[in-house]
Amino acid sequence: MSLELVSYGAFFLTMALTFAIICLGLNVQWGQTGLFNVGVAGFVAAGAYVSALLTTPEDAARLGGFGMPIAAGWLGGALASAALSFMVGALTIRLRADYLAIATFGVAVVVQLCALNLEAVTGGPFGVGFIPRPFAGTARNPLSFGLLNLGLLAALVAMLYLLVERLTRSPWGRVLRAVREDEAAALALGKNASRLRLQAFALGGGMMGLAGAVQAHFIGFIAPDNYMPMLTFQVWAMLIVGGSGNNRGAILGAVLVWAIWAGSAALISTLFPPAEQARAAALQIVLIGVALCGVLLLRPRGIMGEEQIVSRHVGKPHKAGAP
Amino acid sequence: MNPQVAMDGLVAGSMIGLGALGITLTYSILRFANFAHGEFIAWGAYLALAAGAALGSVFPGLAAPVGPFSFGWALPVALFAAIGLNGVLALGVDRLLFGPLRQRRSSVIVLVMASFGAALTLRSLLEFIFTSRPAYFSKALQIALPLGGGIRATPDQLLTLGVALVFVVCVHLLLTRTAMGRSMRAVSENVALAGCVGVEVGSVIRVVWLLGAGLACVAGVGAGLLVQIRPQMGLDLLLPLFAAAILGGIGSVPGAMVAGLVVGLSEALAVQFVGAEWRAAVAFVILVAALLLRPQGLFGRAD
């Protein structure tokens, strides 16, 4: 019993950490740079499908799979999403702020459509199966399989966390926030605002693609239904609740909101008869939507709030001079 | 080319145009892209459905089909009731959500995000109340009438096309010929300056919501009458609406309507020549083309 609990816990946390990666990517786009991405699901799906295409064993029914190693799939997924983000960004970042939002919404619709209709590549509505899973050799023992995957994900999230923390504190990160807060001032100082925004948008998109690939390999199966607008909404709720602009907040929000989500889904399936479950699930979304609007209104900083970051060189002389 | 495609495209496009009108008005006067606008379309359709059903059960005579149309007098009456109720809904959302955010001078993007949250809430609420099963205003079957030139249309299609045109002309006249229209244009130019010269910004904002929700309701009833009513109908229309609003030029009433027709016609053409499964991508292609070639839109002014 307790072993089952541990392996469920490992499964739950691993899923939550894949969301944490998406959240960190969104935090680079929104939290640091103020770019609004309403098509998160599309970028995650692009990463997942590219990785699946690269790594699955050959399948006569569709293009590929190329049977590459999992790491190549992760890298390919991240690069594909980064390229997609770069193109969308290049198209809209110079225009009004909310044109980017509209364009990303469109990307999510089109990616979903491609996943459904390009059956020769994506397997259509049935999706892609037999995606290789990390540590598949241990799959017979659910506990060690779960713990090994959790360890891998935790290491990946830690690495990405350090990377984005480093970037936020770098001159590049400071200029990003300067552009976000006062574009005219940043331009006057000779900073190329559009190019910086585009870099941040592509970086965030790449992280979302990586998360999609990691998730696909963890579950072993993907289908267009996994990438509905609901996913975008969940990720936004995670970032807003955790505190946008704060990388630890992004990770905390992902775990917390995923816990609430999974918990309320379990509650619904035990409380309601099967015929009423679809309706109850709709109510679940209503409650989370109200919560998101409530946080925006009442506590726009989220749980953690944005960290005030200055250059790590500022203030050093004082410390050195102190007795 | 099959001339029938043009007819179907025009009818669908007129509904997109009505919805895009609401988006373009809220966008130019409240200054944010309202992702919840699609939900006003779906809510309008469901409100009319509920009001129509209530009327039909009280006065059964009203439910009997009128003349060549598939619906009884209950629907037009319900439409006007639903326009009012939908306006109340929009004002309520503004009061609870957008108003406080505006007061706090939140950035545009926070408003966009709030509208995104409101959209999901409103949509799921519909799904909760009415379930996701499709609903219909009428189960009556209609025979398409030949109009000459190989074009056929049902009386319902012709009526919705006519109603849409009447509403667009009314909105255009309202904006260009009345004091309220002048105030609205003033607020869309410069809120602070408009306030200084005595324009009541608060009432302008209320009128914008009422207009947008009312037009959305008409579009929703039209789309529901021609196809079906589903909680997802607003979400499916959202991308065509934005594409039409941007292609037409933000703030332009004739632009939104013309661009709506363009989007509708292109969708019909795509269904004919590419395949119905790619219909939803058409709006995205138009959006990208507009942003690449003419970001200020057909009838818009460059910033």
CB proximity list for A316: less than 8 A, separation 6 or greater = none
- Looking at every residue in chain B, the average pLDDT score rounds to 89
Q: Is residue B45 assigned to a domain? A: yes
List of chain B residues whose C-beta atoms are within 8 Å of the C-beta of residue A283: 124, 128
List of chain B residues whose C-beta atoms are within 8 Å of the C-beta of residue A110: 280-281, 284
pTM here is 0.88
Contact A212, A108 (CB under 8 A): no
* Among candidates A91, A98, A297 on the partner chain, residue whose Cβ is nearest the Cβ of B32: A98
Percent of chain B with pLDDT over 90: 49
pLDDT tens track for B47-101: 999 999 898 888 887 777 877 888 888 888 999 999 999 999 999 999 999 999 8
Eight-class DSSP state of A245: T
Mean pLDDT lowest for which of A8-17, A174-183, B122-131, B140-149? B140-149
List of chain A residues whose C-beta atoms are within 8 Å of the C-beta of residue B98: none
Contact B295 A236 (CB under 8 A): no
Give the three-state DSSP class for A303.
Answer: coil
Q: Is residue B287 assigned to a domain? A: no
B-chain residue closest to A98, CA distance: B33
List of chain A residues whose C-beta atoms are within 8 Å of the C-beta of residue B107: 34
d(CA B78, CA B121): 24
Query: What range does the domain containing B169 cover?
Result: 35-244
Q: Is residue B249 assigned to a domain? A: no
d(CA B7, CA A221): 43
List of chain A residues whose C-beta atoms are within 8 Å of the C-beta of residue B110: 296, 300
Kindly state the average pLDDT of the residues B181-190.
Answer: 88
Mean pLDDT lowest for which of A19-33, B8-22, B289-303? B289-303
Instruction: Tell me, yes or no, if B299 comes closer than 8 A to chain A by beta carbon.
Output: no
Instruction: Tell me, yes or no, if B124 comes closer than 8 A to chain A by beta carbon.
Output: yes
Closest by alpha carbon to A97, among A40, A36, A28? Answer: A36
* Residue B272 burial (10 A CB sphere; 0-12, 13-18, 19+): middle
A-chain residue closest to B289, CA distance: A91
pLDDT over threshold 70, residue B4: yes
The alpha-carbon gap from B234 to the nearest alpha carbon of chain A, in Å, equals 13
* Among candidates B124, B242, B246 on the partner chain, residue whose Cβ is nearest the Cβ of A286: B124
d(CA A216, CA A47): 9
Residues on A contacting B at a C-beta cutoff of 8 Å = 34, 36, 38, 91-92, 95-99, 101-103, 105-107, 109-110, 113, 116-117, 229-230, 233, 236, 240, 278-279, 282-283, 285-286, 288-290, 292-293, 296-297, 300
Contact A229 B33 (CB under 8 A): no
Q: Is residue B254 assigned to a domain? A: no
Contact A209, A50 (CB under 8 A): yes
Contact B112 A101 (CB under 8 A): yes
For tokens 């992760």, the residue is: A74
pLDDT < 50: residue spans in chain A: 319-323
Q: What is the model's pLDDT at position B303?
A: 54
pLDDT over threshold 80, residue B38: yes
Give the three-state DSSP class for A222.
Answer: strand
**Which of B130-134, B152-156, B204-208, B273-277 has the highest average model confidence (pLDDT)?**
B204-208
Q: How many CB atoms lie under 10 A from the CB of residue B6?
A: 17
Contact B239, B224 (CB under 8 A): no
Contact A97 B288 (CB under 8 A): no
Q: Is residue B174 assigned to a domain? A: yes
What does the DSSP assignment read for chain B? --HHHHHHHHHHHHHHHHHHHHHHHHHHHH-S--TTHHHHHHHHHHHHHHHHHHHHHHSGGGGSPPTTSSS-THHHHHHHHHHHHHHHHHHHHIIIIIHHHHHTT--HHHHHHHHHHHHHHHHHHHHHHH-SS-B-S-----PPEEEETTEEE-HHHHHHHHHHHHHHHHHHHHHHHSHHHHHHHHHHH-HHHHHHTT--HHHHHHHHHHHHHHHHHHHHHHHHHHS-B-TTHHHHHHHHHHHHHHHH-TT-HHHHHHHHHHHHHHHHHHHHHT-GGGHHHHHHHHHHHHHHH-TT-SS----
Residue B135: what are its φ and ψ, rounded to 5°?
Answer: -125, 160
**Tokens for B217?**
């309701």
Contact B287 A117 (CB under 8 A): no
Q: Is residue B277 assigned to a domain? A: no
Q: Is residue B234 assigned to a domain? A: yes
Closest by alpha carbon to A30, among B34, B109, B111? Answer: B109
The alpha-carbon gap from A113 to the nearest alpha carbon of chain B, in Å, equals 7
pLDDT tens track for A28-37: 998 888 888 8
Burial B201-232 (b: 16+ CB within 10 A, else e): beebbbbbbbbbbbbbbbbbbbbbbbeebbbe
| Bridge partner list, B151 | B148
Q: Is residue B216 assigned to a domain? A: yes
List of chain B residues whose C-beta atoms are within 8 Å of the C-beta of residue A297: 97, 100-101
ipTM: 0.85
The total domain count for chain B is: 1
Contact A292 B117 (CB under 8 A): yes
Q: Which is higher by pLDDT, B256 or A292?
A: B256
